[in-house]
Structure 1
Amino acid sequence: MNCRVVVEAAVPVYDVETADEAVRIAISKTGEMLNPDLNYVEINMGSRSCPHCGEELEPAFIAADESLVALELEMTVFNVERDEHAARIARKEIGQRLENIPLEVLEIEEIEEESEEEDDDEEPSVVEESDADETGGDAAAESDNDAGDDPDSDEISGSANDDILPEFEELIDE
Protein backbone atom coordinates (compact mmCIF):
# COMPACT_ATOMS: atom_id res chain seq x y z
CA MET A 1 0.00 0.00 0.00
CA ASN A 2 1.23 3.51 -0.83
CA CYS A 3 0.25 6.54 1.26
CA ARG A 4 0.45 10.31 0.97
CA VAL A 5 1.44 11.76 4.34
CA VAL A 6 1.10 15.45 5.30
CA VAL A 7 3.19 16.59 8.25
CA GLU A 8 2.93 20.01 9.91
CA ALA A 9 6.20 21.66 10.89
CA ALA A 10 6.69 24.67 13.18
CA VAL A 11 9.68 26.47 11.64
CA PRO A 12 11.31 29.31 13.60
CA VAL A 13 12.44 32.35 11.59
CA TYR A 14 14.42 35.28 12.96
CA ASP A 15 14.70 39.00 12.06
CA VAL A 16 11.45 39.34 10.09
CA GLU A 17 8.92 42.14 9.93
CA THR A 18 5.96 40.70 8.02
CA ALA A 19 4.17 37.38 7.86
CA ASP A 20 4.81 37.08 4.10
CA GLU A 21 8.53 37.56 4.63
CA ALA A 22 8.52 34.96 7.41
CA VAL A 23 6.72 32.41 5.21
CA ARG A 24 9.13 32.94 2.29
CA ILE A 25 12.16 32.55 4.55
CA ALA A 26 10.70 29.49 6.29
CA ILE A 27 10.00 27.75 2.96
CA SER A 28 13.50 28.56 1.73
CA LYS A 29 15.12 27.44 4.99
CA THR A 30 13.13 24.17 5.00
CA GLY A 31 13.96 23.52 1.35
CA GLU A 32 17.67 23.90 2.07
CA MET A 33 17.48 21.44 4.96
CA LEU A 34 15.55 18.83 2.94
CA ASN A 35 17.44 19.06 -0.36
CA PRO A 36 19.03 17.19 -2.05
CA ASP A 37 18.18 14.08 0.02
CA LEU A 38 14.42 14.69 0.21
CA ASN A 39 13.78 16.79 -2.88
CA TYR A 40 10.50 14.89 -3.40
CA VAL A 41 8.91 16.44 -0.29
CA GLU A 42 6.46 19.21 -1.21
CA ILE A 43 6.53 22.30 1.01
CA ASN A 44 3.32 24.34 1.38
CA MET A 45 2.09 27.10 3.67
CA GLY A 46 0.25 25.68 6.63
CA SER A 47 -3.13 26.83 7.78
CA ARG A 48 -3.97 27.96 11.29
CA SER A 49 -7.25 28.85 12.88
CA CYS A 50 -8.33 30.39 16.15
CA PRO A 51 -9.17 27.64 18.65
CA HIS A 52 -12.04 29.68 20.13
CA CYS A 53 -13.82 31.23 17.16
CA GLY A 54 -12.48 29.17 14.25
CA GLU A 55 -11.33 32.30 12.41
CA GLU A 56 -8.60 31.68 9.78
CA LEU A 57 -5.17 33.05 10.82
CA GLU A 58 -1.95 33.72 8.91
CA PRO A 59 0.50 30.78 8.88
CA ALA A 60 3.14 32.90 10.67
CA PHE A 61 3.00 34.19 14.25
CA ILE A 62 5.34 37.17 14.75
CA ALA A 63 6.59 38.56 18.07
CA ALA A 64 9.68 40.74 18.65
CA ASP A 65 10.94 40.30 15.05
CA GLU A 66 10.87 36.52 15.43
CA SER A 67 8.32 34.22 13.86
CA LEU A 68 7.00 30.70 14.11
CA VAL A 69 5.71 29.55 10.73
CA ALA A 70 3.34 26.64 10.13
CA LEU A 71 4.37 24.66 7.03
CA GLU A 72 2.85 21.51 5.58
CA LEU A 73 5.32 18.97 4.25
CA GLU A 74 3.85 16.34 1.96
CA MET A 75 5.52 13.13 0.85
CA THR A 76 4.50 9.78 -0.60
CA VAL A 77 5.54 6.65 1.27
CA PHE A 78 5.63 3.39 -0.71
CA ASN A 79 5.09 -0.24 0.32
CA VAL A 80 3.78 0.28 3.84
CA GLU A 81 1.66 -2.11 5.86
CA ARG A 82 -0.74 0.40 7.41
CA ASP A 83 -1.28 4.13 8.03
CA GLU A 84 0.73 4.24 11.27
CA HIS A 85 3.70 2.71 9.47
CA ALA A 86 3.54 5.42 6.79
CA ALA A 87 3.33 8.16 9.46
CA ARG A 88 6.39 6.80 11.31
CA ILE A 89 8.43 6.63 8.10
CA ALA A 90 7.49 10.18 7.05
CA ARG A 91 8.22 11.64 10.51
CA LYS A 92 11.56 9.82 10.67
CA GLU A 93 12.71 10.81 7.17
CA ILE A 94 11.67 14.46 7.51
CA GLY A 95 12.63 14.72 11.19
CA GLN A 96 16.20 13.58 10.54
CA ARG A 97 16.77 16.58 8.29
CA LEU A 98 14.75 19.14 10.27
CA GLU A 99 16.52 19.01 13.63
CA ASN A 100 14.83 20.79 16.55
CA ILE A 101 11.67 21.45 14.52
CA PRO A 102 8.50 19.90 15.94
CA LEU A 103 6.45 17.78 13.55
CA GLU A 104 2.87 16.57 13.74
CA VAL A 105 1.14 14.24 11.28
CA LEU A 106 -1.95 16.00 9.89
CA GLU A 107 -3.21 13.63 7.23
CA ILE A 108 -2.58 10.14 5.88
CA GLU A 109 -4.27 9.24 2.63
CA GLU A 110 -4.02 5.89 0.90
CA ILE A 111 -3.10 6.27 -2.76
CA GLU A 112 -4.91 4.07 -5.22
CA GLU A 113 -2.55 1.86 -7.19
CA GLU A 114 -2.09 3.15 -10.72
CA SER A 115 -3.52 0.96 -13.42
CA GLU A 116 -0.52 -1.40 -13.46
CA GLU A 117 -2.80 -4.35 -14.13
CA GLU A 118 -4.15 -2.68 -17.27
CA ASP A 119 -0.60 -1.83 -18.37
CA ASP A 120 0.55 -5.42 -17.74
CA ASP A 121 -2.36 -6.80 -19.79
CA GLU A 122 -1.66 -4.48 -22.71
CA GLU A 123 2.16 -4.60 -22.79
CA PRO A 124 2.64 -8.38 -23.05
CA SER A 125 0.28 -8.65 -26.01
CA VAL A 126 2.32 -6.06 -27.90
CA VAL A 127 5.59 -7.68 -26.80
CA GLU A 128 4.38 -11.17 -27.68
CA GLU A 129 3.51 -10.11 -31.22
CA SER A 130 6.85 -8.41 -31.88
CA ASP A 131 8.95 -11.10 -30.17
CA ALA A 132 7.00 -13.98 -31.73
CA ASP A 133 8.09 -12.83 -35.18
CA GLU A 134 11.78 -12.76 -34.27
CA THR A 135 12.41 -15.42 -31.62
CA GLY A 136 9.49 -17.78 -31.41
CA GLY A 137 7.75 -15.71 -28.73
CA ASP A 138 7.18 -17.92 -25.67
CA ALA A 139 10.50 -17.51 -23.83
CA ALA A 140 10.83 -13.81 -24.62
CA ALA A 141 7.20 -13.11 -23.70
CA GLU A 142 7.60 -14.87 -20.34
CA SER A 143 10.75 -12.91 -19.48
CA ASP A 144 9.03 -9.65 -20.40
CA ASN A 145 6.03 -10.57 -18.22
CA ASP A 146 8.34 -11.12 -15.25
CA ALA A 147 10.05 -7.79 -15.87
CA GLY A 148 6.65 -6.07 -16.28
CA ASP A 149 6.02 -6.32 -12.52
CA ASP A 150 8.60 -3.61 -11.90
CA PRO A 151 8.06 -0.39 -13.93
CA ASP A 152 11.77 0.48 -13.86
CA SER A 153 12.79 -2.90 -15.25
CA ASP A 154 10.66 -2.36 -18.37
CA GLU A 155 13.02 0.37 -19.50
CA ILE A 156 16.11 -1.66 -18.66
CA SER A 157 14.91 -4.91 -20.22
CA GLY A 158 13.65 -3.07 -23.29
CA SER A 159 17.03 -1.47 -23.94
CA ALA A 160 18.84 -4.74 -23.14
CA ASN A 161 16.67 -6.65 -25.63
CA ASP A 162 17.41 -4.03 -28.27
CA ASP A 163 21.15 -4.59 -27.75
CA ILE A 164 20.91 -8.40 -27.66
CA LEU A 165 18.56 -9.00 -30.61
CA PRO A 166 20.80 -7.57 -33.37
CA GLU A 167 23.64 -9.86 -32.24
CA PHE A 168 21.26 -12.82 -32.23
CA GLU A 169 20.11 -11.98 -35.76
CA GLU A 170 23.75 -11.72 -36.88
CA LEU A 171 24.44 -15.21 -35.53
CA ILE A 172 21.47 -16.64 -37.40
CA ASP A 173 22.61 -14.98 -40.66
CA GLU A 174 26.11 -16.47 -40.33
Structure 2
Amino acid sequence: MAEVGTPDRPLRVAIVGAGPSGFYAAHAMLSHTDCGAWVDLIDRLPTPFGLVRGGVAPDHQKIKSVVKAYDKIAACQGFHYVGNVRLGEDVALDQLLAAYDMVMLAVGCESARPMGIPGEELLGSHSATEFVGWYNGHPDHRDRHFDLSAKAAVVVGVGNV
Protein backbone atom coordinates (compact mmCIF):
# COMPACT_ATOMS: atom_id res chain seq x y z
CA MET A 1 0.00 0.00 0.00
CA ALA A 2 1.32 3.44 -0.98
CA GLU A 3 2.29 5.96 1.66
CA VAL A 4 -0.30 8.70 2.33
CA GLY A 5 0.70 12.07 0.91
CA THR A 6 2.45 10.75 -2.18
CA PRO A 7 1.41 10.89 -5.83
CA ASP A 8 0.36 7.23 -5.55
CA ARG A 9 -1.79 7.96 -2.49
CA PRO A 10 -2.64 11.67 -2.16
CA LEU A 11 -3.69 13.02 1.21
CA ARG A 12 -7.49 13.34 1.04
CA VAL A 13 -8.70 16.53 2.71
CA ALA A 14 -12.25 17.80 3.21
CA ILE A 15 -12.62 21.47 4.05
CA VAL A 16 -16.13 22.49 5.07
CA GLY A 17 -16.70 26.15 4.31
CA ALA A 18 -15.82 27.91 1.05
CA GLY A 19 -15.09 31.35 2.42
CA PRO A 20 -11.67 32.96 2.80
CA SER A 21 -10.37 30.58 5.49
CA GLY A 22 -11.47 27.54 3.51
CA PHE A 23 -9.77 28.76 0.34
CA TYR A 24 -6.55 29.71 2.10
CA ALA A 25 -6.45 26.34 3.87
CA ALA A 26 -6.96 24.61 0.51
CA HIS A 27 -4.13 26.66 -0.95
CA ALA A 28 -1.83 25.69 1.92
CA MET A 29 -2.61 22.00 1.41
CA LEU A 30 -2.21 22.12 -2.37
CA SER A 31 0.95 24.24 -2.42
CA HIS A 32 2.98 21.59 -0.61
CA THR A 33 3.92 19.62 -3.71
CA ASP A 34 5.68 16.95 -1.67
CA CYS A 35 2.39 16.31 0.13
CA GLY A 36 0.33 15.06 -2.81
CA ALA A 37 -3.03 16.43 -1.65
CA TRP A 38 -6.56 16.09 -2.96
CA VAL A 39 -8.85 18.78 -1.50
CA ASP A 40 -12.64 18.81 -1.58
CA LEU A 41 -13.95 22.23 -0.56
CA ILE A 42 -17.51 21.67 0.64
CA ASP A 43 -20.11 24.40 1.15
CA ARG A 44 -23.83 24.61 1.85
CA LEU A 45 -24.28 27.18 -0.93
CA PRO A 46 -24.10 26.38 -4.64
CA THR A 47 -21.48 29.11 -5.11
CA PRO A 48 -18.17 29.57 -3.29
CA PHE A 49 -16.48 32.58 -1.60
CA GLY A 50 -18.66 32.90 1.52
CA LEU A 51 -19.14 36.42 2.82
CA VAL A 52 -16.80 37.83 0.18
CA ARG A 53 -19.62 37.11 -2.27
CA GLY A 54 -22.66 37.84 -0.11
CA GLY A 55 -21.44 40.04 2.72
CA VAL A 56 -19.44 42.79 1.03
CA ALA A 57 -21.13 45.75 -0.63
CA PRO A 58 -21.03 45.82 -4.44
CA ASP A 59 -19.20 49.16 -4.39
CA HIS A 60 -16.26 47.58 -2.54
CA GLN A 61 -14.80 45.96 -5.65
CA LYS A 62 -11.25 46.14 -4.35
CA ILE A 63 -12.20 43.93 -1.42
CA LYS A 64 -14.21 41.59 -3.65
CA SER A 65 -11.28 41.29 -6.07
CA VAL A 66 -9.75 38.71 -3.72
CA VAL A 67 -11.93 36.16 -5.53
CA LYS A 68 -9.34 36.25 -8.33
CA ALA A 69 -6.90 34.61 -5.91
CA TYR A 70 -9.57 32.07 -4.97
CA ASP A 71 -10.16 31.31 -8.67
CA LYS A 72 -6.45 30.51 -9.03
CA ILE A 73 -6.65 28.17 -6.06
CA ALA A 74 -9.73 26.50 -7.54
CA ALA A 75 -7.80 25.89 -10.77
CA CYS A 76 -5.09 23.92 -8.94
CA GLN A 77 -4.76 20.24 -9.65
CA GLY A 78 -6.38 18.27 -6.86
CA PHE A 79 -8.95 20.95 -5.97
CA HIS A 80 -12.67 20.19 -6.17
CA TYR A 81 -15.59 22.38 -5.15
CA VAL A 82 -18.65 20.58 -3.82
CA GLY A 83 -21.59 22.94 -3.34
CA ASN A 84 -25.14 22.51 -2.03
CA VAL A 85 -23.98 20.16 0.73
CA ARG A 86 -25.09 20.85 4.30
CA LEU A 87 -23.02 19.35 7.08
CA GLY A 88 -25.36 17.49 9.39
CA GLU A 89 -28.12 17.21 6.78
CA ASP A 90 -26.62 15.96 3.51
CA VAL A 91 -23.50 14.49 5.06
CA ALA A 92 -22.55 13.74 8.65
CA LEU A 93 -19.23 14.70 10.18
CA ASP A 94 -18.61 11.01 10.93
CA GLN A 95 -18.99 10.23 7.21
CA LEU A 96 -16.41 12.85 6.31
CA LEU A 97 -14.03 11.60 8.98
CA ALA A 98 -14.34 8.08 7.57
CA ALA A 99 -13.85 9.15 3.94
CA TYR A 100 -10.97 11.62 4.35
CA ASP A 101 -7.55 11.63 5.98
CA MET A 102 -8.19 15.12 7.32
CA VAL A 103 -11.30 17.24 7.87
CA MET A 104 -11.20 20.97 8.55
CA LEU A 105 -14.21 23.01 9.60
CA ALA A 106 -13.97 26.56 8.23
CA VAL A 107 -17.63 27.53 8.42
CA GLY A 108 -17.13 31.13 9.51
CA CYS A 109 -19.78 33.24 11.17
CA GLU A 110 -22.72 34.61 9.25
CA SER A 111 -24.82 35.83 12.15
CA ALA A 112 -25.00 39.44 13.27
CA ARG A 113 -23.51 40.45 16.59
CA PRO A 114 -26.04 42.31 18.76
CA MET A 115 -24.89 45.77 19.82
CA GLY A 116 -26.89 45.79 23.05
CA ILE A 117 -28.35 49.26 22.51
CA PRO A 118 -31.91 50.45 23.22
CA GLY A 119 -34.19 50.09 20.20
CA GLU A 120 -32.10 47.49 18.46
CA GLU A 121 -35.05 45.11 18.48
CA LEU A 122 -37.55 47.60 17.02
CA LEU A 123 -39.26 47.23 13.67
CA GLY A 124 -37.08 48.77 10.98
CA SER A 125 -33.82 48.07 12.78
CA HIS A 126 -31.66 45.69 10.77
CA SER A 127 -28.16 44.31 10.97
CA ALA A 128 -25.63 44.83 8.21
CA THR A 129 -25.58 41.05 7.80
CA GLU A 130 -29.27 41.05 6.86
CA PHE A 131 -29.22 44.16 4.70
CA VAL A 132 -26.00 43.51 2.78
CA GLY A 133 -26.95 39.86 2.34
CA TRP A 134 -30.30 40.98 0.92
CA TYR A 135 -28.94 43.41 -1.64
CA ASN A 136 -26.22 40.96 -2.67
CA GLY A 137 -28.85 38.27 -3.26
CA HIS A 138 -27.51 35.85 -0.63
CA PRO A 139 -29.92 32.89 -0.45
CA ASP A 140 -30.39 33.32 3.31
CA HIS A 141 -31.60 36.90 2.88
CA ARG A 142 -33.07 37.25 -0.61
CA ASP A 143 -36.68 36.90 0.60
CA ARG A 144 -36.36 39.65 3.22
CA HIS A 145 -38.28 42.85 2.74
CA PHE A 146 -37.02 46.26 3.76
CA ASP A 147 -39.06 49.44 3.86
CA LEU A 148 -36.88 51.81 1.90
CA SER A 149 -39.43 54.64 1.80
CA ALA A 150 -37.95 56.62 4.70
CA LYS A 151 -36.30 59.94 3.84
CA ALA A 152 -33.51 59.35 6.37
CA ALA A 153 -31.67 56.45 7.97
CA VAL A 154 -29.26 56.02 10.84
CA VAL A 155 -26.24 53.80 10.36
CA VAL A 156 -24.43 52.72 13.51
CA GLY A 157 -20.88 51.56 12.98
CA VAL A 158 -18.49 51.86 10.11
CA GLY A 159 -17.92 48.24 9.22
CA ASN A 160 -16.37 47.26 5.96
CA VAL A 161 -19.63 46.45 4.21
TM range (shorter): under 0.3
TM-score w.r.t. structure 2 length? 0.27
Q: Quick check: which one's helix share is greater?
A: 1
